[in-house]
């Protein structure tokens, strides 16, 4: 089952060897993962007539997946899953049929129609409403604002998932309070701060509907989100992906409830309801932090440099262009590199921030070198600065190529890195990384790779990066050389402790090639690599992973 599988993967801490082993809740394979099912029906046809009485019947510290199936109906009750009742799967008959409604509003924390306080909770196909501020048109008729915090759902437990649910309210509809949460295909409606809190959450394929316009109030602005992140090392934040923001009137995407509020909208449709400014700093006006300044009207770039091997640009080598940028530059500098093979070693030092390096496509602009003395000295391209964007360039280490000259029985491969990324906030679009052993050293920091091609045979994506690879081709190349090597390794991740946030996520990628390769080997005891929504060809070893020095500690 899709949702149980998702769970087993997010609850994994150690290397996940094919089947994930650290399950927070026991599954019963004979019964599609569910150990116990309890039926709730208002008409008396189930074991219970209220949802709360079904929850109360589950023993504390329950460790088996327990499904509470809720028949169609409007359940007028306040529902709480207490902290000591994990592993519950609350399943309604769909948002149009099963609804839970209440109207508390005395204070924010106690106003929840549904409060989920335990870990490992799945909710599906239910509408949750706080009806207090509704019908809103009556209370707003005189302009005397009587709006109150009235929460529909509060989510306070870790590892909680909502599929196909609706959240209806006006102010503070969804209190995404604490923990890691996933919302998919949900509908969330409100006017003020209607998704708020300190959750570390992903919202996917959701509809956010700003409802103030419906009531024709004199409110000029509403706020979709109010995230409460309080410090730079607080991991919380809201990510909205493939979502739709709709409604009438005007709303900010969010206001900064705290000094480090973090909300991201990506690949989403934002209708005219979104205020052009996007965000409001609230109590933090004047403290907005931009890593790199953008200049409007000039392609959002402050400076532009053109590199051409033929001498028609500002520079003939990439390194000389980078050297020309003033240290601790804080405005986006655009370096365009005309087609050609640039035989040079390139370094972006730590103080050359805010650089956008753009080639003419990875088939046209290539940077190549062949160092191999030791891993650290070998990279063709090294990027140490924060806030770097790279687009349309191939990075190659040519040392181990052509491999066909190698003695097939003598494994004389050596570490020869094409690119090493050490800076934080670095993004690569439409790039290629070519090598054989240790091609891409995704060393430290948060990185994003989109539509890239990464090729190699041994540990060819390795390091301690905290990175997302999307829509990329991962090509295992050993088979191309007819080399009779029994196994290769795509990744070697170096996560060393349970609180190290690093990890590689491959989403919508394709793993191709000839021969056989493991998805990864555990370079360290907490190595973390996840392949999701990806196509894995026959090149992938059926066992998936190799624990390397950590055999027995999976
Ligand atoms: C949610 O609803 C969509 C559309 O009706 C359906 O395709 C999907 O399978 C549902 N999700 C789950 C987890 O049941
Ligand atoms: C690998 O070894 C073979 C045979 O000894 C030699 O011909 C070849 O040049 C070596 N290749 C590399 C990349 O060192
Ligand atoms: C590769 O090596 C294995 C074991 O050393 C051997 O059994 C196999 O026949 C070899 N395959 C080829 C294509 O040389």
Listed in sequence order, the DSSP H helices in 245-305 are none
Q: Is residue 356 part of a domain?
A: yes
Based on the domain organization, do 278 and 314 belong to the same domain? no
Biggest distance spanned by C-alpha atoms of the chain: 87
Domain boundary (284, 319, 339) is at: 284
Q: Is residue 499 part of a domain?
A: yes
Q: Is residue 445 part of a domain?
A: yes
pLDDT of residue 34: 81
Ligand 2 within 6 A of CB of 400: yes
Q: Is residue 294 part of a domain?
A: no
Based on the domain organization, do 310 and 446 belong to the same domain? yes
Domain boundary (284, 318, 336) is at: 284
Based on the domain organization, do 383 and 459 belong to the same domain? yes
- 544 C-alpha to ligand 3 centroid (Å): 22
Based on the domain organization, do 253 and 315 belong to the same domain? no
What is the Cα–Cα distance from 263 to 261, expressed in whole angstroms?
7
Q: Is residue 297 part of a domain?
A: no
Residues with catalytic roles: 438, 459
pTM for this one? 0.68
What is the Cα–Cα distance from 346 to 360, expressed in whole angstroms?
17
Residue 58, helix vs strand vs coil:
coil
State both tokens at 54.
Answer: 């079904």
Based on the domain organization, do 329 and 453 belong to the same domain? yes
Which ligand is nearest the CA of 483, by number?
A: 3
Residue 532, helix vs strand vs coil:
strand
pLDDT of residue 135: 54
Residue 475, helix vs strand vs coil:
strand
Based on the domain organization, do 448 and 336 belong to the same domain? yes
Q: Is residue 296 part of a domain?
A: no
How many Cβ atoms from other residues are within 10 Å of residue 6's Cβ? Answer: 17
What is the number of structural domains in the chain?
A: 2
Q: Is residue 541 part of a domain?
A: yes
State both tokens at 230.
Answer: 């309080």
Continuous segment of H or E residues that includes residue 321? helix 318-323
Based on the domain organization, do 252 and 374 belong to the same domain? no
Domain boundary (220, 249, 284) is at: 284
Q: Is residue 295 part of a domain?
A: no
Based on the domain organization, do 126 and 264 belong to the same domain? yes
What is the Cα–Cα distance from 446 to 440, expressed in whole angstroms?
14
Which ligand is nearest the CA of 411, by number?
A: 2
Based on the domain organization, do 451 and 503 belong to the same domain? yes
Comparing CA positions, the residue from 16, 11, 118 lying closest to residue 504 is 16
Residues with C-beta less than 6 Å from any ligand 1 atom: 2-3, 124, 163-164, 185
Q: What is the pLDDT along the chain (554 residues), one digit of tens a residue?
A: 344 443 333 333 333 333 333 568 887 766 667 889 999 999 999 999 999 999 999 999 999 999 999 999 999 999 999 999 999 999 999 999 999 999 999 899 999 999 999 999 999 999 999 998 865 544 454 444 578 899 999 999 999 999 999 999 999 999 999 999 999 999 999 999 999 999 999 999 999 999 887 776 566 679 999 999 999 999 999 999 999 999 988 999 999 999 999 999 999 999 999 998 889 999 888 888 778 876 655 555 668 899 999 989 999 999 999 999 999 988 899 999 999 999 999 999 999 999 999 999 999 999 999 999 899 999 999 999 999 999 999 999 998 865 544 554 556 788 999 999 999 999 999 999 999 999 999 999 999 999 999 999 999 999 999 999 999 999 998 877 666 566 789 999 999 999 999 999 999 999 999 889 999 999 999 999 999 999 999 999 999 999 998 888 88
What is the Cα–Cα distance from 317 to 325, expressed in whole angstroms?
14
Per-residue CA distances from 252 to 191, 278, 280, 354 (Å): 10, 5, 7, 27
Ligand 1, atom 10: closest residue by C-alpha: 164
Residue 44, helix vs strand vs coil:
coil
Ligand 2 within 6 A of CB of 461: no
**CATH of residue 151:** 2.160.20.10
Note whether 263 and 238 are within 8 A (CB).
Answer: yes
- 122 C-alpha to ligand 1 centroid (Å): 14
- 205 C-alpha to ligand 1 centroid (Å): 11
Q: 340 pairs with which residues across the strands?
A: 365
Domain that holds residue 525: 303-550
Based on the domain organization, do 61 and 171 belong to the same domain? yes
Based on the domain organization, do 268 and 318 belong to the same domain? no
Based on the domain organization, do 96 and 61 belong to the same domain? yes
């Amino acid at each position: 089952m899709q949702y149980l599988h998702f769970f087993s993967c997010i609850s994994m801490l150690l290397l996940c060897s094919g089947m994930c082993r650290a399950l927070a809740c026991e599954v019963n394979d004979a019964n599609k993962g569910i150990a116990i099912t309890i039926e709730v029906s208002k008409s008396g046809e189930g074991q219970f007539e209220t949802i709360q009485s079904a929850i109360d019947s589950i023993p504390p510290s329950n460790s088996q997946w327990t499904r509470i199936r809720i028949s169609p109906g409007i359940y007028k009750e306040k529902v709480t899953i207490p902290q000591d009742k994990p592993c519950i799967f609350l399943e309604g008959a769909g948002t149009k049929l099963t609804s839970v409604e209440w109207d508390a509003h005395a204070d924010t924390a106690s106003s929840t129609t549904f409060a989920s306080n335990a870990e490992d909770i799945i909710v599906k196909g239910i509408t949750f409403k706080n009806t207090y501020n509704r019908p809103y048109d009556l209370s707003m008729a005189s302009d005397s604002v009587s709006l109150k915090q009235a929460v529909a759902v509060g989510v306070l437990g870790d590892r909680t998932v909502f599929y196909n649910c609706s959240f209806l309210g006006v102010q503070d509809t969804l209190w995404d309070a604490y923990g890691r949460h996933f919302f998919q295909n949900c509908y969330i409606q409100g006017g003020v701060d209607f998704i708020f809190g300190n959750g570390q959450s992903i919202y996917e394929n959701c509809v956010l509907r700003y409802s103030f316009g419906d009531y024709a109030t004199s409110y000029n602005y509403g706020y979709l989100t109010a995230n409460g992140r309080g410090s730079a090392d607080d991991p919380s934040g809201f990510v909205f992906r493939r979502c739709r923001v709709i409604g009438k009137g005007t709303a900010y995407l969010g206001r900064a409830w705290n000094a480090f509020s973090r909300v991201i909208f990506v690949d989403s449709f934002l209708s005219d309801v979104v205020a052009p400014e996007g965000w409001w700093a609230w109590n933090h006006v004047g403290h907005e932090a931009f890593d790199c300044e953008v200049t409007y009207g000039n392609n959002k770039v402050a400076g532009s440099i053109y590199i051409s091997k033929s001498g028609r640009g500002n520079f003939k080598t990439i390194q000389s262009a980078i050297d020309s940028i003033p240290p601790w530059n804080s405005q986006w500098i655009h370096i365009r590199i005309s087609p050609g093979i640039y035989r040079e070693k390139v370094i972006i030092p730590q103080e050359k921030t805010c650089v956008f390096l753009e080639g003419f496509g990875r088939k046209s602009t290539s940077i190549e070198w062949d160092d191999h003395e030791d891993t650290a000295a070998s990279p063709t391209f090294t990027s140490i600065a924060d806030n770097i964007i790279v687009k349309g360039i191939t990075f190659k280490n040519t040392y181990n190529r052509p491999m066909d000259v190698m003695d097939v029985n003598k494994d004389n491969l050596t570490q020869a890195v094409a690119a090493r990324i050490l800076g934080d906030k670095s993004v690569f679009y439409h790039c290629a990384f070519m090598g054989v052993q240790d091609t891409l050293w995704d060393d430290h920091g948060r990185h994003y790779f989109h539509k890239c091609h990464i090729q190699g045979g041994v540990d060819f994506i390795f390091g301690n990066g905290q990175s997302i690879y999307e829509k990329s081709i991962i090509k295992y190349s050993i088979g191309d050389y007819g080399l009779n090597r029994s196994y290769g390794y795509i990744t070697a991740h170096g996560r060393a402790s349970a609180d190290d946030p690093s990890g590689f996520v491959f989403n919508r990628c394709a793993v191709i090639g000839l021969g056989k390769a493991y998805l990864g080997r555990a370079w360290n005891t907490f190595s973390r690599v996840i392949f999701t929504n990806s196509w894995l060809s026959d090149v992938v070893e059926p066992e998936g992973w190799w624990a390397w020095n950590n055999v027995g500690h999976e």
